[in-house]
């Protein structure tokens, strides 16, 4: 056998024995944004990136994570779209960030969650795949936990690991260093607490005391993780206190304090809004009931007229009856408010609201917002991904508009230089998307019997 023939036989053997090349598949990457060990109460970002060859046919559904002894949330923020080249293969990536906060010290392991993905194969046809979160551990050391109580009644309060900023606003402007009111007036004190890089739910209620003989009413706090006018990313808590002054005199409203944990000193700390001095003068309307008045008295007596006493007694009875009625109706009013709030939340997150969000994003020419709203609407109204739903209705223009939007956002060769025109997609959606309320109204109308059978 010649040398050339032997070389050809060896090359053929190598080709026959070599394993076949495997097609590229979706992968997942999990990264912790903070150096470990983290502190108890410290909010840590967990970046989860899902990569798929070519481009995604539908956005993956990131799952909720449950970790015992910790709070894990996914703030309502848009996903970050990326592209990477790995071993010569171009991948489209979608990244979401979870917020992790340890409630106690120790080691925490993230669950091995599985996410199903749909992406385009080399032939352009949809391919189904799945990724599973790799083993990821987070170690938390002792930090923002404050022990309160004594003996067996010791409780641990989780403090935010962030330097809180506390500001206040009054509905009366101070004059010469003090707020000047009259007896019976009220002072509204609005306290705003900002926690950088921390969710609003981690901020504890402020400590607000009232002087003796001053009544204070606290409104329900308002929490926001994206408050307008905030100094940066973080959570904002707004507390409103109403002080009622019934007697004359000079009062000092104590400072309003909020607890937090200082990561530099490893000790609990406090931020505060300054004290407020209030000077209360006599009521503006003293009337005939004021001491020393000249109200007529019954013959031989120095008391008030009997008609005045009668009207005063009736007024007291009416106030008592109103207070008793309010006390009995308060649970029913609270339940009614809760039902109304739940109804408003359901309407705000329902299919109609999500569909209107798609149309608004199309009108604004925001491709990323339009696709995110479209995916949310198709999951709610049709339990399907945008591409799958568009194919099921049999509308070629609709399917082409959805595919073009996906190619623009997630394709390996996507183009973002030109402005996106969302009008064709909006027009196609209006032909097939009947609002839920209209469907419900049509079903009810069809269920009614004829008036003259």
Residues 355 and 426 in one domain: yes
Using one digit for the tens of pLDDT, what is the confidence trace for 246-265? 899 999 999 999 999 888 88
- Per DSSP, what are the bridge partners of residue 119? 56, 127
Final residue in a domain of this structure, among 141, 173, 204: 141
Find the helix or strand (DSSP H, E) in which 352 lies. Answer: helix 351-364
**Sign, CA torsion 306/309/315/320:** negative
Strand locations in 213-353 (E): 214-218, 222-224, 234-245, 249-253, 256-262, 267-273, 276-281
Count of CB atoms within 10 A of residue 289's CB?
Answer: 11
Is residue 276 within 8 Å of 170, Cβ to Cβ?
A: yes
- In three-state secondary structure terms, 236 is strand
CB 270 within 8 A of CB 257: yes
Do 130 and 156 sit in the same domain of this protein? no
**253 alpha carbon, distance to own chain's centre:** 32
CA 423 – CA 207 distance, rounded (Å): 53
Range of the domain at 396: 351-444
| Total domain count, the chain | 3
- Domain contains 322: no
Structure tokens at 370: 């339009």
Backbone dihedral region for residue 292 (phi beyond 0: left; psi -120 to 50: alpha; all else: beta): left
Nearest alpha carbon to residue 108 among 96, 98, 117: 98
CATH number for the domain spanning 202: value is 2.60.40
Mark whether 173 and 82 lie in a shared domain. no
Residue at which a domain ends, from 99, 122, 141: 141
User: Same domain, yes or no, for 129 and 198?
Assistant: no
What six digits make up the tokens of 47?
Answer: 């970046």
| Residues 365 and 263 reside in one and the same domain | no
Q: Look at residue 13 and tell me if it is in a domain.
A: no
What is the structure's pLDDT at 201? 86
Residues with Cβ within 8 Å of 286's Cβ and at least 6 positions away in sequence, in order, are none
Category of 300 on φ-ψ map: left (φ > 0), alpha (ψ -120 to 50) or beta: left
Q: Which residues pair with 147 in a beta bridge?
A: 156
Angle between helices 367-382 and 396-410 (to 10 degrees): 130
DSSP assignment letter at 74: -
Low-confidence ranges of the chain (pLDDT < 50): 18-21, 148-155, 287-303, 436-447
User: What pLDDT does residue 179 have?
Assistant: 93
Domain end call among 284, 319, 338: 284
Does residue 290 lie within any of the structural domains? Answer: no
Contact by Cβ (8 Å): 94, 81: yes
Looking at the fold, whether 36 and 137 belong to one and the same domain comes out as yes
CB-count exposure of residue 378 (10 Å: 0-12, 13-18, 19+): buried
If you compute the radius of gyration of the chain from its CA atoms, what whole number of angstroms results? 33
CA–CA separation, 262 vs 268, rounded Å? 6
Does residue 80 lie in a domain region? Answer: yes
- As a whole number of angstroms, the distance between CA 34 and CA 43 comes to 9
As given in the structure block, the two tokens for residue 194 are: 């900002």
Whether 156 and 275 map to the same domain: the answer is yes
Contacting residues for 274 by C-beta, under 8 A, at least 6 apart: 168, 255
For residues 175 and 189, the answer to whether their CB atoms sit within 8 Å is no
pLDDT of 304 reads 53
Q: Quick one: 95 and 198 in the same domain?
A: no
Domain co-membership, 158 together with 246: yes
Domain-located, residue 146: no
Report yes or no on 108 lying in a domain: yes
The answer to whether residues 261 and 372 belong to one domain is no
Same domain, 365 and 415: yes
Q: What is the pLDDT of residues 64-118, one digit of tens each?
A: 999 998 989 887 667 889 999 988 889 999 999 999 998 888 999 999 999 999 9
Is residue 304, in this structure, part of any structural domain at all? no
Q: Are residues 129 and 164 in the same domain?
A: no
Tell me whether residue 253 is in a domain.
yes
Tokens of 408: 């623009």
State the DSSP string of 364-381.
HT-HHHHHHHHHHHHHHH
């Amino acid at each position: 056998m010649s040398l050339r023939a032997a070389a050809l036989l060896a090359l053929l053997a190598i080709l026959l024995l070599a394993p076949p090349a495997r097609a590229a598949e979706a992968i997942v990457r999990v990264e912790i944004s903070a150096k470990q060990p983290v502190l108890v109460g410290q909010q840590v970002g967990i970046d989860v990136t899902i990569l798929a060859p070519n481009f995604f046919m539908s956005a993956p559904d990131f799952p909720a994570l449950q970790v015992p002894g910790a709070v894990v949330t996914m703030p309502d923020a848009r996903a970050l779209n990326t592209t990477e080249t790995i071993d010569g293969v171009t991948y489209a990536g979608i990244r979401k960030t979870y917020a992790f906060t340890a409630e106690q010290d120790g080691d925490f392991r993230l669950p091995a969650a599985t996410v199903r993905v749909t992406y385009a194969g080399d032939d352009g046809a949809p391919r189904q795949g799945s990724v599973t979160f790799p083993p990821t551990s987070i170690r938390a050391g002792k930090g923002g936990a404050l022990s309160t109580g004594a003996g067996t009644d010791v409780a641990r309060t989780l403090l935010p690991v962030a330097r809180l900023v506390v500001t206040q606003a009054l509905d009366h402007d101070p004059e010469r260093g003090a707020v000047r009111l009259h007896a019976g007036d009220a002072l509204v004190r609005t306290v705003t607490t900002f926690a950088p890089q921390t969710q609003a739910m981690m901020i504890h209620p402020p400590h607000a005391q009232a002087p003796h003989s001053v009544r204070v009413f606290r409104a329900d706090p308002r929490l926001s993780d994206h408050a307008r006018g905030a100094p940066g990313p973080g959570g904002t808590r707004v507390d409103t206190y109403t002080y009622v002054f019934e007697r004359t005199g000079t009062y000092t409203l104590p400072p309003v304090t909020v607890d937090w944990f200082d990561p530099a000193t490893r000790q609990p700390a406090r931020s505060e809004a300054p004290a407020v001095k209030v000077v209360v003068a006599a009521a503006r309307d003293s009337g005939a009931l004021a001491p020393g008045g000249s109200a007529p008295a019954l013959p031989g007596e120095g008391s008030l007229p009997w008609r005045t006493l009668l009207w005063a007694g009736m007024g007291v009875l009416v106030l008592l009856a109103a207070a008793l009625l309010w006390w009995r109706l308060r649970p029913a009013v609270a339940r009614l408010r809760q039902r109304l709030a739940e109804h408003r939340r359901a309407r705000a997150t329902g299919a109609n609201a999500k569909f209107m969000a798609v149309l608004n994003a199309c009108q604004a020419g925001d491709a990323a917002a339009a696709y995110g709203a479209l995916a949310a609407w198709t999951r709610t109204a049709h339990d399907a991904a945008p591409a799958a739903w568009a194919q099921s209705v049999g509308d070629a223009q609709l399917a082409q508009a959805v595919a073009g939007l996906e190619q623009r956002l997630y394709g390996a060769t996507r183009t973002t230089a030109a402005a996106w025109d969302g009008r064709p997609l909006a027009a196609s959606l209006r032909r097939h998307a009947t609002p839920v309320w209209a469907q419900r109204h049509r079903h009810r109308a069809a269920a009614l019997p004829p008036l003259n059978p």
